[in-house]
Structure 1
Amino acid sequence: MADLDIVIVNWNSRHYLRGCLDALQAAHDEDAGLIRSVTVVDNGSSDDSLDGAAHERLPLRILRNRDNLGFAAACNQGARGGNGNFLLFLNPDAAATAAALRLPLDFMARPGNRKVGICGVQLLDDAGHVARSCARFPTPASFAHAALGLDRILPARFPRARMAEWDHGQTRAVDQVIGAYFLIRRPLFERLGGFDERYFVYFEEVDLSYRARRAGYVSVYLAGAPAWHRGGGSSDGIRARRLYYSLRSRLLYAFKHFSAAGAASVVLLTLFVEPASRVGEAFLRRSPRRAAETLKGYAALWAWLPRYLLLGRTR
């Protein structure tokens, strides 16, 4: 019996969504007992993303939002109404074969893997190279390294959260798998209340993975089931806004999971130190445009933070 519900959140990803759905239809045709449902949540796209999205042999439903509700909120929206024991959150710029769906399900269904709550797979980029798709949970120290630019200047001494030093050639337990392919047990997802919708985009899967770990479950990276992931997708053209949302989600994560002192250190470094290091790096690369985008992203962050601290507003 099909036991997998797939949720795809789309925002102006017209060039990728069709390929994602084509791959899922091929997987469904190959293994008819695999997919219970596919839900596409369109977050107020303006690029006619849903033109040609219908796939008559795929158990597909499409939810249309007038506005962009954010990735976490749209994921929760798409998850509601399904009843499979497993939920897969799949990016529209990803493509999964039947094997990339079946093997993780079989792995998690083994009696000895009952405490594997989340599973990711090997993701291949445009050139067929294995992407570095797993990460460590962030800490105040790791955020400090990022703010100071140490993880970019001396990556061997100050490794980034993303596990770039590991070739991702072996199956292993990890802190977090990337949200482009994020398979989770539905009972665990519902027990944890789904994604925290205060994260508009970025860090929502980190937060959920951390809460799953605290609940006694592990995340596993499965090396033997490759899928394709282009990366970047719908956010390629909005770098300043992307930086703002990433920094904002960083602060939300720090407020939620760190001590008061740890969160304060992250805020101070993010607001007062990192802008200078990022702008300096941009000029060293002779990229005034990147410097301008950096300043624009930080201006948005500075405008948001007082509203959040005083009123608790994340929008």
Structure 2
Amino acid sequence: MTELTNSPRILVIILNYRTPQMTLRAAQAALADMEGMNAELVIVDNASGYGSAGILTREISERGWDQNNRVRLILSDTNGGFGAGNNIGFAAGMSDGSAPDYFYLLNSDAFPDKGCLPRLLQHLRDTPKAGFAGSHVRGEDNLDHTTAFRFTSIAGEFEGAARFGPITRLLRRSVVAPDLPTETARVDWVAGASVLIRGKMLEEIGHFDETFFLYFEETDLCKRGANAGWECWYLPHARVVHIGSVSTGMKTWERIPAYWYASRRHYFVKNHGRLYAAAAFLAKLAGGAIHTTRCALTGRPRQDPRGFYRDLMRFGLGLSLERPQQLSRRPVSEEKS
């Protein structure tokens, strides 16, 4: 018991939005990986409605997870998005009132393999300047998900939109989503589906910027960490299965919602200034024009969502997208059953 008490304190945070059964599955996988560690789990229900809170409360009690505060459920009054929901978890701390040494963010549709969290923890303990450690993420089809990135830039926006081999080779050092490292490596930022974060770093740089409703909030947090001298690492041997886009409904989007454009603009303006943001906007439009022209000439299907560049242009010019209903996320099929 003394050994466990003296080990690092870890708070696992799972954010639920209208996927209670999926969240319970993620919690069960996390609890199995937390075995033998000085760790607790907090589930933050992000104002789901649709009976989520009742399902989670009942299941946590019936499974005995609430014994010794192993699992706590926190109900948010509002849905402020991914960052705001996780900030509630950050603020909760350990059940005895102490501050965690590390926070592990796990998506509600992500399920750690045995040994994932211990590997992430060991890396942060062995690497004093590491503020983030992200895991390898794969789908249920066993295909890799890209979760390790470079910070986006003007050149990266142009390359990513153009999707043209000669341009990619010329700007290879600016590719935002390069091939995944096969060994543990430093990267600019990692996705928030499965990431261990050092508490000391958060005390220094602060929590998520709640201006971001969804998307770019992890990029911004890692950017602030990098600016303060903290490192971000990707660990391919710490692994999770991730279904992806369950609570956001992203896979069923016909068009990109307004909050994505808002988050993108806020990231560039906040971190680089308005002139840089404008240049990045123009670079993306220029790259998109190249891609659209090539597709028209070759007959290949375009790879952008319907109306993407029209909406990007309208949002960049400060015009309404006339789709205010997409500022909040829709319920998904799990809640309708």
Matches within 5 A, 1:103-114: 103-110=119-126, 113-114=127-128
Is this contact kept in 1: 2:139–2:241, CA < 8 A?
A: yes
**What whole-Å deviation, never above 9, does each CA across 1:99-137 have from its counterpart, x for those lacking one?**
111111122112xx1001110111121122332210001
Matches within 5 A, 1:74-85: 74-82=85-93, 83-85=99-101
**Aligned equivalents of 1:282, 1:17: Cα separation in 2:** 41
Question: What corresponds to 2:14 in structure 1?
Answer: 8
5+ residue gaps, structure 2, are 94-98, 321-326, 329-337
In the alignment, does 2:167 pair up with 1:151?
A: no
Is this contact kept in 2: 1:41–1:64, CA < 8 A?
A: yes
In the alignment, does 2:180 pair up with 1:162?
A: no
Question: What corresponds to 1:69 in structure 2?
Answer: 80
Is this contact kept in 2: 1:278–1:291, CA < 8 A?
A: no
Question: What corresponds to 1:44 in structure 2?
Answer: 47
Letter in 2 for 1:100: C
**What whole-Å deviation, never above 9, does each CA across 1:286-309 have from its counterpart, x for those lacking one?**
79x9525x4795598369x479xx
In the alignment, does 2:37 pair up with 1:33?
A: yes
Is this contact kept in 2: 1:275–1:298, CA < 8 A?
A: no
In the alignment, does 2:248 pair up with 1:235?
A: yes
**What whole-Å deviation, never above 9, does each CA across 1:87-109 have from its counterpart, x for those lacking one?**
11111010124411111112211
Report the TM-score when normalising by structure 1: 0.80
Question: What corresponds to 2:143 in structure 1?
Answer: 129
1:180 to 170, 184, 193: 193
Matches within 5 A, 1:46-61: 46-50=49-53, 51-52=55-56, 53-54=59-60, 55-57=63-65, 59-61=70-72
Is this contact kept in 2: 1:93–1:233, CA < 8 A?
A: yes
Report the TM-score when normalising by structure 2: 0.76
Matches within 5 A, 1:154-303: 156-157=168-169, 160-163=175-178, 165-166=179-180, 168-236=181-249, 239=253, 242-268=256-282, 290-291=305-306, 294=308, 298=312, 301=315
| Distance change (3 Å), C-alpha of 1:132 and 1:48 | same
Partner secondary structure for residue 105 of structure 1:
helix
Please report how far the alpha carbon of residue 74 of structure 1 lies from its aligned counterpart in structure 2 after TM superposition.
Answer: 1.1
Partner secondary structure for residue 135 of structure 2:
strand
Letter in 1 for 2:228: A
Is this contact kept in 1: 2:162–2:288, CA < 8 A?
A: no
**What whole-Å deviation, never above 9, does each CA across 1:134-181 have from its counterpart, x for those lacking one?**
0001112212334xx313776843564122x23x32111111111101
| Distance change (3 Å), C-alpha of 1:177 and 1:290 | closer
| Distance change (3 Å), C-alpha of 1:56 and 1:169 | same
Question: What corresponds to 1:24 in structure 2?
Answer: 30
Please report how far the alpha carbon of residue 276 of structure 1 lies from its aligned counterpart in structure 2 after TM superposition.
Answer: 6.8
Please report how far the alpha carbon of residue 43 of structure 1 lies from its aligned counterpart in structure 2 after TM superposition.
Answer: 1.5
